[in-house]
Amino acid sequence: MSLRRRGLATVIVALFTMLASVLVSVGTSGSALAATRTPGVTSKTITIGVISTQTGSLASQWDPQLLGFQVEINKINATGGIFGRKIKLVVQDDGSSASNQVAAAQSLVQARGVFAVADVAIGSANTLTYLNSAGVPTVASGSNPTEGLPTNFNIYGVRADLLHGPRVTTLFGNVMKSLGAHNIGVLAYGSVAASIDECESAYGSAKITKGLSAAYENLTLPLPVTDWTPYVLAMKSANVDGLFPCVTVNDELAFIQAARQQGLPLKSFIAVGYNSSLLTQPENSIAQGVTIGAEFLPTELNTPVTKLRTQTYNKYGQPGPVNASSVPGYLAGLLLKEGLTAATKKLTRTSFINNLRQVKNWTADGNETGPINFDISAYSPNAILAGEGADNCDYLLTVQGTAFKPVSSKPVCGKVLPES
């Protein structure tokens, strides 16, 4: 109601003035109450924003994670919600673009007013920086190594554990040694810090693992790489027989194919290769015999945990085999549930962030390779992610025909070395 209307009778103006004064008083009180409300939360619902990759060049690898996330959300809602609140999802597609991902995050927070964000896309450092500065609780499928760092206090990833500042873990060396490799070569994109960090750690691991030699290191690959032949020939000249690439799965396969064409046999390890796309053509023919890493319990082990996971997918998602590519999204759903439960019924962003930071042994209902400690109070400011799966462990599988075959029922693990 406005007091700017002119030309009204004096008595009506007086009545409006009296009424307006009451409304201003009530409105001020209401505004103060609204300011204390938690965004995206009502007595019956919690609205969660989801950043996914449903279209574009990366969709085949990342879109299944949205399905995995939705499986757990469907289960939560079907079993009564969190303290009686059902979860509503608002999904944004980043179109395989980092800039679109930032815009999607801003839209979810500023226009849609979500309580928290689930990042089940490839992960963008700028996106996480924005969500951190906005103070929005964020769970992620673990594709970006800045998730969970002390500088990103409200960001939680599902894949790897934080360490007290070390840069090298023996996991990589142990994996390559188990494959029978001797001379290790690594490849990283020169413009991607995460790629460089991972390969520096792997190369350092090769240096200190008995029986291995750090033979070739290239941390300056351009994006995109249009011709892999020069890099293959450089590795051949260095007598490399073990490859640890810190690049995308598609580029890893392109390098492996080029190496075969140049007569360079390699024992290759694809750290994030547990992806169902490797079981279809044209990737499948290239991936034959390649060893891949699984940062969570592989379905192929057929344990009580994986059987329950399959049952959950069939009941609350889609019937049939579980798409390995979707599982990180499912774990992100479990992590969201953990945070909402830890936050208690009096849900606020602060209670979610602070209470989840007190969880020190999260295993995603046994799906992780080891416990994850979200308490970062003791970590140094330069703490980094080390290893692939939680607790510096990876399950190893090989691609045989159109199936993944576990190398062992137990993961390969490593020890953390002090920063040099």
Both 99 and 75 in a single domain?
A: yes
CA distance 51 to 118: 6
pLDDT at 389: 63
CA distance 343 to 347: 6
Residue that the structure tokens 């810090």 belong to: 193
Both 175 and 111 in a single domain?
A: no
Examine residue 40 and state whether it is found in any structural domain, yes or no: no
Both 18 and 54 in a single domain?
A: no
Both 18 and 101 in a single domain?
A: no
Both 224 and 257 in a single domain?
A: yes
Indicate the pairing of strand 416-417 with strand 168-169.
antiparallel
CA distance 219 to 222: 9
CA distance 143 to 162: 14
Both 15 and 49 in a single domain?
A: no
Both 86 and 109 in a single domain?
A: yes
Both 174 and 288 in a single domain?
A: yes
> pTM of the predicted model, to two decimals?
0.83
Both 364 and 407 in a single domain?
A: no
Number of domains in the chain: 3
- Report the interhelical angle of 349-356 vs 327-342 (nearest 10°): 110
Examine residue 38 and state whether it is found in any structural domain, yes or no: no
Examine residue 109 and state whether it is found in any structural domain, yes or no: yes
| CATH classification of the domain holding 212 | 3.40.50.2300
Examine residue 396 and state whether it is found in any structural domain, yes or no: no
What is the domain range of residue 8?
1-32
pLDDT at 125: 76
DSSP letter string, 175-231: HHHHTT--EEEEEEETT-HHHHHHHHHHHHHHHHSTT-EEEEEEEEE-SS-S--HHH
pLDDT at 192: 77
CB atoms within 10 A of CB 296: 28
Which residues of the chain fall short of a pLDDT of 50?
1-35, 144-145, 161-166, 382-387, 420
pLDDT at 295: 87
Both 282 and 409 in a single domain?
A: yes
CB of 394 closer than 8 Å to CB of 159 = no
Examine residue 391 and state whether it is found in any structural domain, yes or no: no
Q: Which amino acid is at 376?
A: I
Q: Which long-range contacts (CB under 8 A, 24 or more apart) does 175-179 make?
A: 175/269, 175/291, 175/293, 175/394, 175/396, 175/412, 176/206, 176/209, 176/212, 176/242, 176/244, 176/267, 176/269, 177/209, 177/211, 177/212, 178/396, 178/407, 178/412, 179/242, 179/267, 179/269, 179/291
Whole-angstrom CA distances from 57 to 90, 93, 94, 124, 296 are: 22, 13, 11, 16, 25
Q: Which amino acid is at 226?
A: T
Both 321 and 288 in a single domain?
A: no
Both 4 and 119 in a single domain?
A: no
Paired tokens of 339: 């945070």
Examine residue 392 and state whether it is found in any structural domain, yes or no: no
CA distance 249 to 62: 12
